Structure 1
């Protein structure tokens, strides 16, 4: 794992830097493999990145969009990560609908929908059973409790090592989420973190020793490149 930590002056600078990185990875992936795969994060932090990407002249026919996690709500629900990304970016660009791969949340059985999405990933990446595909870029954030994706402290999903997709749990509400090993197989994992409310979590995530199951983002140790993009208010006094 190669870890790069960058502390940017403010959120605008962080968004600009994340845009530069993502565009460079799109170019490289398409040159080398003919397509680019990205898993989006939810929340307010990456939304301006998606809005910025929508203004770029990108080869959308070669870009495939996934999500690292999703609340178990219909796709038109205000809390849906898919809805946010469609409004901010996907509805504003010429991406083929077949290149958009949302997590299924329309049923009444999160486990069955997790299995369905696992099968979709296996088919798309032509992955052998038991093997994990390599996303080009997985975007992540953290919560004040150091969760990432829908991998929450002391939940069962944290311990899943033999699957790509698991059912997460937030206060009894199911989520669908990438698992730790799927994230860790990515070529690039990029955390985007803003705000002083994240300082305490970051201190534990970056500490030499701490409990991984209390601070789940510590479990993200990808084989590829790990980026931590922090604004000054989040990472200004971080000891890396």
Structure 2
């Protein structure tokens, strides 16, 4: 499926459009299957989206929240993606505690943490061996190096195709991340990208030819819908 690319006037407009899309997809999932699943992104761009989601009236007992990646830090650490989402959103709505599925970072070895979370995801979705479950919504961003989730350029995590969860690597620091095939199994993937520093990455991601090891976000080609929400400061257009 061809990506849907929208260039919004500024970050508030980008956030409003993301909110509209996320609510549409979650409500549709609940109407069809009586449950909705979303995997969250870290970083500063989605934080105002989470703050707006905290103001919504949703059937919270039917929503299950995961994270697409996590830094290998305790849950109360300032760098924790889980902590950011809880403070901005989840602590402010009556979502059942068992509906929140963070990546647990209390294992001695990050490989153990990845294995543990993979087991949790498989159990939740009742996945068969070799099957990649379909999240209703996966939120993503990109870095100025074109990484997404914790899938960084020229790292081993990019090659993992037989697991749901793996260990990423950022300058020697381990992270836990969804794998490419798990992201690509999603019903809807939404990228939120803002800032002029993302222009070069975007031009390479959408180039006719470029190296996926160097520009990992090129690997994200979901079976479902793919949305790219950009703000004008990226200075990107479809004609680039």
TM over 0.5: yes
Name the Cα RMSD after superposition: 0.8
Aligned residue for 1:219? 219
How far apart are the structure 2 equivalents of 1:153 and 1:236? 22
2:62 maps to 62
**Counterpart of 2:168?**
168
Query: 1:124-163, aligned counterparts within 5 Å?
Result: 124-163=124-163
1:108 CA displacement: 1.5
Q: Is 1:29–2:29 an aligned residue pair?
A: yes
Shift of 1:154: 0.3
Matched length = 240
Task: Name the SS for the 2:3 alignment partner.
Answer: strand
How high is the TM-score relative to the length of structure 1? Answer: 0.98
C-alpha distance 236-153 of structure 1, shift in aligned 2 (>3 A)? closer
C-alpha deviation, 1:104, in angstroms? 1.2
Q: Quote the residue 1:78 is aligned against.
A: 78
Structure 2 runs not aligned, ≥5 long: none
CA contact (8 A) 1:110 1:174 kept: yes
CA distance in 2, matches of 1:236, 1:173: 31
Q: Deviations over 1:177-196 (max 9, x none)?
A: 00000000000000000000
User: Normalised by the size of structure 2, how large is the TM-score?
Assistant: 0.98
Compared CA separation, residues 236 and 202, structure 1 to 2 (3 A): closer
State the shift of 1:236 in Å.
3.7
Q: Give yes or no for the alignment of 1:19 onto 2:14.
A: no
Runs of 4+ in 1 over 3 A off after TM superposition: 235-238
Q: How does 1:97-116 map to 2 (within 5 A)?
A: 97-116=97-116
Whether the 8 Å contact between 1:195 and 1:231 is mirrored in structure 2 is yes
CA distance in structure 2 between the aligned counterparts of 1:212 and 1:165, rounded to whole angstroms: 19
Give 5+ residue unaligned stretches, structure 1: none
